[in-house]
Structure 1
Amino acid sequence: MTSLAEIAARFPKLDPALMESRLRRPGSNARVIIDTDTANEIDDQYAVAWALLSPERLRLEGVTAVPFSFQHHREGLIKSVEILRNGGPQNEVEEKFMGGLGGWAQRIIDAGRKAEEVKFVSPEEGVELSYQEILTIFEKCGVPSKGKVFRGAPGYLTDYDTPLETESTRFIIEQARKRDEGPVYILAMGALTNIASALLVAPDIIDNIVVVWTASFPSYAPFCNAPSLNLVQDKLASRLLFECGVPHVYLPGYHVGAQLKISHPEMEKFVKPKGAIGAYLWHLYTNNPLHEMFAITGQETKTWVIWDIINVAWLFDDDYVSMRMTTSPALNEELYWETDADRHMMAEAYDLNRDAIYEDFYRTLERAP
């Protein structure tokens, strides 16, 4: 089985000047692929809609569907509920085991539910649901989807020798090899399986793609990155991104993207009345599938983070997402960052202008049919 270091050695090393130019925000009409787990919750739909309704600001080559699944939480949730029903953690082992699942487990108990009854879709189901949801967003925005939407991987990487070749992988490679048309920016809003597979099949494409990914903690944070769904679902793909030397704009979800909360009254006033897509986004907000999964109640008094619009915000305006140039960390097997000033460059977000982003989004919805 080929190691990560051996795989990374197969990739071309980009000239530092080329790397730096790739990491800057492009001007209007940049070539874009959106790689998205659109049916995972409700945030990707906002990002895709914002892009579809902004044809003068980007050249959308296509949208690729990403697998998703919360199945990796099933065993831990069942055990956490059992621990709480037995009086709570009795030792450090049980306390550590529960980790961040305690609140979820308690809500399951309070709702009189059984953890075993929580429905978790498989990655294969997830990618098909995402594919169909992408088509729905195109329809609600009044934009033709023919030739623009592609099914992605039905699962995750199991090793670096077996990339998952799909129509999404082939599409990414095809677009990346159109070098006379300029680089393609992949707005990555889920697990990196499609992108990693494309890189493993065709390492040469790293000089003509930029991966703009949102996930996890900032590279300077001392925390384990396991809570990040986008990162933890496909650990091999996540580690490859930071190791192979592809130009990478990193948009941390925690502390940065997490500021992109929107409330029930804002949704009702600024989104709901805006055509078919506004009505659909309102429906998603008020029928959030994760409310059911996580046993969240009292939704009208709670906000929700629309994480993935950070990718589109970065693309649209320098003032929306504050960036810094740094070096790419390594992601170790325990999913902690290891930093090294001698590694290749990476652009990383450290803050954002939440109000300006949403004001732009609301203005864009005004043109919705």
Structure 2
Amino acid sequence: MTIPATVLERFPKLDPDFVTSRLQRPQGPARVIIDTDTANEIDDQYALAWALLSPERMNLEGVTAVPFSFIHHREGMLRSVEILKRGGPGNAEEEKFMGGFAGWAQRIVDSGTDPESIKFVLPDEGAELSYQEIVRVFEHCGVDPEGMVYRGSPAYLSDFDSPLDTEAARFIIERARAEPEIPLYILAMGALTNIASAVLMAPDIIKNIVLVWTASFPSYAPFCNRPSLNLVQDKLASRLIFDCGVPHVYLPGYHVGAQLSISLPEMEQFVKGKGAIGDYLHHLYTHNPLHKKYVISQPETKTWVIWDIINVAWMFNADYVSTHMTQSPVLDEDLYWQHPAHRHPMLEAFDVDRDAIFEDFYRTLGKAP
């Protein structure tokens, strides 16, 4: 769905120099909201723990729960398994279709797993699971979650005239307006539904916030962005954020955040035993729900990407995430980047210092109660 001009006209037109100034890293502890689908897998928990254990570096004002669901993968997975069971792709169309599902489907077939037994939560379930997991991480970090955690959207945007009015969206609006002279940084680690709803309900807040979001391919990449869960779940919200003019720090997952992988030996040496939260993060790593969903065998030999710590890393140290100033792209109907002229500025990451980021994270865990 193309964003109607009447929707974009609701947003203030920010001066490019103002946007560029807002995209500089904050000096000193910044005002922050973390917007996270924490129960989606295991990476958000690491990012949230790093933030909670670093109050001297971040003024965390609250955490909002984001919906998530892999249900959009179910039909493709089932069809791919069916194709394999009848002997493999019979034509070029089937071979192309299976491209994104082939490995998963093959593991299902090889292991004898019933594909119908693989559980997929719906967005409202995902939002509640995220809320409960956020509270759990607070408690493991020894931080009181009272008044700090907010339930988010139970669904994704259906159109640009129907924002989801939730306590998360209301909280974002309230905090954005509370101290308009001091920018509010929103570290977005999931679908953008809460944030898109907030700016649709209160377009004026785009001049008070800086969105720091991780998802998908770099804006210069020629690839379809469909593989990105954070982007593809709520396509309308994703498209809106690139078009509405909000100051935006874009942290691509492929293949920037994807460098932030961690192994079991590192978990054993640097995370396990570092307080209740260290033990909990180790438990998550060794009981990863996506290993079961994707029928991954021998998980002890696999690394896992802790994608979402890139948001916190960008806030904490300029040397951790390398960025360049560019122009905000347009996300087209087919989820490819387009680059019309005269777009507003955007800051985009192109590399990370993987080792320095994890070394900081490990040092911080050393302070865990």
TM-score, with structure 2 as normaliser: 0.98
> Is the 1:327–1:340 Cα contact (8 Å) retained in structure 2?
no
1:177 alignment partner, SS class? helix
Deviation at 1:6, TM superposition (A): 2.7
What corresponds to 2:174 in structure 1? 174
Deviation at 1:2, TM superposition (A): 8.8
Distance in 2, Cα, partners of 1:181 & 1:143 = 28
Deviation at 1:87, TM superposition (A): 1.1
Distance in 2, Cα, partners of 1:341 & 1:141 = 47
Q: AA paired with 1:291?
A: H
Range with bigger deviation, 74-83 or 11-20 = 11-20
> Is the 1:212–1:251 Cα contact (8 Å) retained in structure 2?
yes
Range with bigger deviation, 12-21 or 246-255 = 12-21
Q: AA paired with 1:164?
A: L
What corresponds to 1:37 in structure 2? 37
Q: AA paired with 2:15?
A: D
1:182-237 CA deviation, whole Å, 9 max, x = no partner? Answer: 11000000000000000000000000001100000000000000000000000000
What corresponds to 1:336 in structure 2? 336
What corresponds to 2:134 in structure 1? 134
Query: Per the alignment, do residues 2 and 97 of structure 1 end up closer, same or farther by CA in structure 2, a change over 3 Å counting?
Result: closer
Correspondence 1:15-54 to 2 at 5 A: 15-54=15-54
> Is the 2:38–2:130 Cα contact (8 Å) retained in structure 1?
yes
Deviation at 1:117, TM superposition (A): 1.3
Deviation at 1:17, TM superposition (A): 1.8
Alignment identity in percent?
72
Q: AA paired with 2:238?
A: S
1:59 alignment partner, SS class? strand
Deviation at 1:261, TM superposition (A): 0.4
> Is the 1:193–1:237 Cα contact (8 Å) retained in structure 2?
yes
What corresponds to 1:123 in structure 2? 123
What corresponds to 1:92 in structure 2? 92
Aligned length in residues: 369
Deviation at 1:181, TM superposition (A): 5.5
Distance in 1, Cα, partners of 2:97 & 2:2 = 32
In structure 2, the gaps of 5 or more residues are none
Deviation at 1:337, TM superposition (A): 0.2
Query: Per the alignment, do residues 322 and 3 of structure 1 end up closer, same or farther by CA in structure 2, a change over 3 Å counting?
Result: closer
2:17 alignment partner, SS class? helix
What corresponds to 1:290 in structure 2? 290
Distance in 1, Cα, partners of 2:241 & 2:98 = 29
Distance in 2, Cα, partners of 1:188 & 1:64 = 9
Correspondence 1:291-310 to 2 at 5 A: 291-310=291-310
Distance in 1, Cα, partners of 2:176 & 2:162 = 21
Deviation at 1:179, TM superposition (A): 3.0
Deviation at 1:4, TM superposition (A): 3.6
What corresponds to 1:209 in structure 2? 209
In structure 1, the gaps of 5 or more residues are none
What corresponds to 2:83 in structure 1? 83
TM-score, with structure 1 as normaliser: 0.98
What corresponds to 2:268 in structure 1? 268
Query: Per the alignment, do residues 325 and 3 of structure 1 end up closer, same or farther by CA in structure 2, a change over 3 Å counting?
Result: closer
Deviation at 1:25, TM superposition (A): 0.9
